A and B are shown apart, each in its own frame.
Chain A
Amino acid sequence: MAVLEVKNMGKSYGTLEVLQKIDFSLEKGESLAIIGSSGSGKTTLLRCLNFLEKPDKGSIMVNNEVIFDALDPTTQRESEVRKKRLHFGLVFQNFNLFPQYTVLKNVTLAAELLAKERSDYKQGKKAIMNEIEDRAKRLLAQVGLSDKLDNYPHMISGGQQQRVAIARALALEPDILCFDEPTSALDPELTGEVLKVIRNLADENTTMIIVTHEMDFARDVADRVIFMDEGVIVEQGSPQEVFDNPREERTKQFLYRYKKDKDHSL
């Protein structure tokens, strides 16, 4: 069953069509890599899914429920957007941790605030808070940061900050976790630790969309790959199909350029 179905999504800034006719779906447990050159609309696509931008066209379905339809205003009520966002998690390129909170608090904060809206919050406050904290500690252990719980973000490395950000997103148990170039703000020697965490998540069948410039990683980890160019999905398929036997000329050129750059840097 598809967790996510995006149909005919389009988004323009003024006259610039940043996304056009975006169609794809995602199965539960699947990880999808989105590749494409700079400015092709990858970030915009993730932002639309997370309701940070509003698409002009198309629809988004999660678990067979239409959560957004550009033609149906009842799906766009401001009051419901907040709840709908929780279907998705988003890990930003530059982490965006909250600097005034410890690593642990960064992970628990949103869950604690949401818990206050629960009807049983007053009676079960203590138990609920303990549960949230335990889960956060488990997640931080999972990303290898058990010894950093009480550190503030500026005390830890970029790679560690990004791993906290991943734990923070996981804490709300999103249906689909999105990554926007999670390693491109990192020094090369720090990308490995973050990619390893994402790889582990993929092994545990976390449903994910990963925008990345790390082609080897995408080929390795993704179940499916989308190549975007100038706001359209040019090609999608298994990593073997897209990387080894691309059908479209634009895909071939992109991969060729990528390969050449990489050979140069070696």
Chain B
Amino acid sequence: MDQVFVIVNRLSESFLLNCRLFALTLLFSLPLGLLISFGSMSRFYPLRWLMRTLVWVVRGSPLMLQLMIIFYGPGLLSLSYTWPAGDTGRFVAATVAFVINYACYFSEIFRGGIESIPRGQYEAGLVLGMTKSQIFFKVTLLQVIKRILPPVGNEVITLVKDTSLARIIANKEIIMMAGEYSSKGLIWPLFATGIYFLVFVGVLTIMLDWLEKKLGYFRT
């Protein structure tokens, strides 16, 4: 019984790393994704090309590979900057990789959402003497959010589970921890990790549904 308690404790601790990675990735990748989406819609051709290439490269290669390149890259290329030593460095590198990766996915969702708003909305704003930024924030944004909520929700749920990939650069996340027990012949901790993810995703799903209902008062 004691052993169960210890294991659950350690699993919970390691799941905290998944949670932190999840939260930080969302915090930074959502705004960064918005910037990238603006870039990829820019009328300035080089910027648009650059952003679309970035999105292609990032979406076109495995996140696992990106994690390794971002973590080992600076050292292997003998750049002047390398990640801080120890767990901090591993975690920061993982966060950077996740943020870039998810920002690119989000940027495409945002771009699709923004482009799906009828031009008439923008023109109605112009004719009423609004500035471009007033039109974006007061007219377009909420309609975009309503439209992209389902695909963003999908990405967010995928992110929860993707956080486990951080183990590839030796972040002690929950599956890695459970794996250590299973190599000692103990299988239930692996199943237990599944419950952590299920509960987390369950709570997220409830929150996303709530948001969707909140925005149900109007139709686009």
Contact = CB atoms under 8 A, between A and B. Distances in A.
Interface of A: 50-52, 82-83, 85-86, 88-90, 92, 94, 96-100, 109-110, 113-114, 152-154, 168-169, 172
B119 to A, nearest CB: 9
Contacts, number: 61
Interface string B127-165: 111110010001100110010000000000000000000
B218 A100 contact: yes
B81 interface: no
Nearest to B124: A96
Nearest to B134: A113
Given A85-B126, A96-B124, 18 more contacts: A50-B126, A51-B126, A52-B127, A82-B130, A82-B131, A83-B129, A85-B129, A86-B129, A92-B120, A92-B124, A100-B142, A100-B143, A100-B218, A113-B130, A113-B138, A114-B129, A152-B218, A172-B128
Contacts of B87: none
B114 to A, nearest CB: 15
Contacts of A51: 126
A110 to B, nearest CB: 4
Interface residues of B, number: 22
B121 A96 contact: yes
Interface in B64-84: none
23 contacts: A50-B126, A52-B123, A82-B126, A82-B129, A82-B131, A85-B126, A85-B127, A90-B127, A92-B123, A92-B124, A94-B120, A97-B124, A98-B121, A98-B124, A98-B139, A99-B220, A100-B143, A109-B138, A110-B125, A113-B129, A113-B130, A152-B219, A153-B218
A152 B217 CA distance: 8
A101 to B, nearest CB: 8
Contact of B127 (A89, A97, A114, A152): A89
